[in-house]
Amino acid sequence: MKTVIGCLWYYVVSAVLIVALVSCKTDAGKPAQPIPDNSATAFVRDMGIGINIGNTLDAINNHVSNTPAGETGWGNPKITKEFIAALKNYGYTTIRLPVTWAEYLGPAPDYVIDETRMSRVEEVVNWILEEDLYCILNLHHDGGESPKSWILKAGDDPDGVTKQFAAVWKQIAGRFSGASGKLIFEAMNEVGFKMWNQWDASTNGKKPEAFRILNGLNQAFVDTVRASGAQNNARFLLVSGYYTDIDLTCDPLFKMPSDTQHDRLILSVHYYTPATFCILDKDESWGKNQTDWGSGSRGDADYAELSRQFAKIRGQFIDRGIPVILGEYGVNFNNKVEAGRVRWISAVTQACLDNGICPVLWDTGNDIKRSPASSYAMSDALAQAWRLIRK
């Protein structure tokens, strides 16, 4: 996520909570229909419910500076083995580890990743795998808009950036080629190109090129990882949708890459819909802050929108045997009705479980504290949501 979203309460998950969620009826869902039983879909269902360790290894300096932001640059402490164990104790079975590499790359043509950075990422990945958890590892704000970010430059130099993309993934894939099959590589995060703007019809002539570039990056990702051998020959890979947006990813111009392996590709999308509820905390020129969700005069419409979005991703991908991971979702905690946030996240989580999707909460340390002094405690909002879901 390119904005800091907190109080994403829901994931105090344990086996008990998973049962509670599956049995919890929401207006968003209809009785679950059979999910394809191919191996990639089964793998994703086994991933259960996950959480992001956001604003940490993905932090990047937002100024023109040669000094990396560092792991603590956005206000969070360093990740510890004890924190990973605490997440497992809460019941999480998947951890998404957003990592930004941009400030740690050497010059062209090799773009060598700083060894200290690589070793630190490896250490955290190993802690996650040692807990027998699934781990999603990506390129995060490399595709953002900070001065050091670089993937978006593919809009001007697709061939050059694709070569850099492959060079970076070659190193990461090589370093982790022997890792457990529970490690999933994710191509990138929320990437699209400004040459085409869906709200500006004058740019529509550039739309095919924008999708072609993203499709090319995804293909380079798959080809590079497969070429690295060992466990990567058959590792499950997470392909990034266009801006990881459901509507844009369901566009016919988006293409899943080809693969030398059968049934090993997964689609990554995010969900912050409606943006006026999930992201805004005050009125903006493009929308009015929505403070509540799923109740009152707009309640039925809110649930209907959610159902339409998940029906779309299911029809386009899941029913065709292409499983989906919802790599991020959550709600801004400022100026929101708490019960509305509870309704939204429970409904989205239920929709994921009904459709065989692994939901991964976006958290930046607001809902599960990250220091031993706090005993990795839940926020008050998360505890309140736990009480509500158990009713």
Distance between start and end Cα atoms, the chain: 31
Which has the closest alpha carbon to 87: 380, 384, 365? 365
How many Å apart are CA 55 and CA 365, to the nearest integer? 8
- Nearest CA among 11, 236, 48 for reference residue 137: 236
HEC assignment per residue over 117-177: HHHHHHHHHHHHHHCCCEEEEECCHHHCCCCCCCHHHHHCCHHHHHHHHHHHHHHHHHHCC
Of the candidates 77, 95, 119, 18, the one whose C-alpha atom is nearest the C-alpha of residue 362 is: 95
Could you confirm whether 190 is annotated as catalytic? yes
Q: Is 71 a catalytic residue?
A: no
Active site residue: 71, 103, 131, 328, which one?
A: 328
Strands, DSSP E only, in the chain? 50-52, 94-97, 134-138, 183-186, 237-240, 265-271, 324-329, 358-361
Residue of 71, 131, 186, 190 marked catalytic: 190
User: Residue 56: left (phi > 0), alpha (psi -120 to 50), or beta?
Assistant: alpha
Tokens 């099959």, located at residue: 181
Active site residues: 190, 328
